[in-house]
Amino acid sequence: VRIVENEMNGKLASQEACVGVRVNPLLGSGAIETLSVSNARSKFGMPLPDVETRERLVGYFVKYSWLRGLHVHVGSQGCGMVMLAAGATYVVDLADEIDDRCGAKRISTIDIGGGLPSNYGSESMGGFSFSDYVAALRKGCPRLFDTKRRVVTEFGRAIQSKIGWVAAEIEYVKNVPNVANKADFPQKTLVTHAGADLFMRTCYSPESFPVRIEAFRCDRGSSPCVFAAKDEAVLKYDIAGPLCFGGDKIGLGIELSQHLKEGDFVVVLDSGANCLSLWSHHCSRVPPPVFAYSRTKDNAIEIQLVKETSSSLRHTLDFWK
């Protein structure tokens, strides 16, 4: 708060600025520890169960009239709507307390963050809809809906993940020698161009961040690629990426058509969120191009290149300068 005040050199008081503070009600962890930000060791927000911190926060609002917002984001994927609604209730109560202490309607905006999950296991949204969330908020935090304050949300994966997918060419198909004679062993490894540089969470923490993988067979120079349905005879594959370490695998023992060969494609679904944004420079690879597509009125597919890949070595080297 002091930094904002100094930066603005006292000008905020005379402006219609709305600056908010992120608070942390410390509600605990969700199902995925690394996405949990409301536990005692969280680095985010002012931890308000701490009485001294809470008093300090309220004191800021009393002192600075340009402080008008409160923000809470209790976590992502695996936090459940009841927990999200508890976070909202916490900031609504706090907003009312701050208004009382300021003797004015000070809090004009409440930002309840993101946190709604995406379903990485199937095509469906995963047993929830945005209207379910509204219903959970109406039940758990009805006062959020009175019209005296603006409510802001920050949904990430619930909106983004299902609208993106990654296609990666199969560079090599390798047999896996089942030397230990284990029953549940893959038969082949598909070495592709999608690895831990793009699917960082999946490769380093596969139990928490599994992805759905499909395959398409592609005969060069002829018709378009065709979907390799899983009801044809299948093999178990490990799906590996291009990086130089053993854990560079986005799928382990995945069942896909037995006919897959070099030049075919694997497609990783639900990858519109936390994928390209986590791109790493491991092995100095260049990021992939990004295409957007939509259906036209006459039912054709229109494709647009929205982000080119830089194939130049110069671009890669520049990063290391």
Ligand X SMILES: Cc1ncc(COP(=O)(O)O)c(C=O)c1O
Candidates 82-90, 153-161, 194-202, 245-253; binding stretch for ligand X (CB under 6 A): 153-161
Chain centroid to Cα 310, Å, comes to 25
Alpha helices in 37-174 (DSSP H): 51-63, 80-102, 130-140, 157-160
Between the two ends of the chain, the Cα-to-Cα distance in Å is: 35
Hunting for tokens 């983004």 — which residue is that?
160
33, 100, 154, 262: which one binds ligand X (CB under 6 A): 154
Candidates 47-55, 155-163, 221-229, 264-272; binding stretch for ligand X (CB under 6 A): 155-163
Cβ proximity to ligand X: between 116 and 194 the closer is 116
Cβ proximity to ligand X: between 84 and 194 the closer is 84
87, 115, 195, 251: which one binds ligand X (CB under 6 A): 115
30, 69, 87, 113: which one binds ligand X (CB under 6 A): 113
Q: Which two tokens stand for residue 304?
A: 């647009």
Candidates 72-80, 81-89, 99-107, 175-183; binding stretch for ligand X (CB under 6 A): 72-80
Q: Does 36 bind ligand X (CB under 6 A)?
A: no
Separation CA 12–CA 66 (nearest Å): 6
Q: Does 30 bind ligand X (CB under 6 A)?
A: no
Q: Does 114 bind ligand X (CB under 6 A)?
A: yes
Candidates 70-78, 98-106, 138-146, 177-185; binding stretch for ligand X (CB under 6 A): 70-78
| 80 Ramachandran zone, left/alpha/beta (phi>0; psi -120 to 50) | left
Separation CA 87–CA 72 (nearest Å): 7
- Note whether 119 and 125 are within 8 A (CB): yes
Consecutive H or E run containing 200: helix 200-204
Q: Does 87 bind ligand X (CB under 6 A)?
A: no
The least CB distance from residue 153 to ligand X, in Å, is: 8
Cβ proximity to ligand X: between 85 and 168 the closer is 85
Separation CA 76–CA 97 (nearest Å): 27
Cβ proximity to ligand X: between 59 and 121 the closer is 121
Residues 255-274 that bind ligand X (CB under 6 A): none
Q: Does 157 bind ligand X (CB under 6 A)?
A: yes
Residue-wise DSSP of 19-74: EEEEEE------SSGGGB-SSTT--SSEETTSHHHHHHHHHHHHH-TTEEEEE---
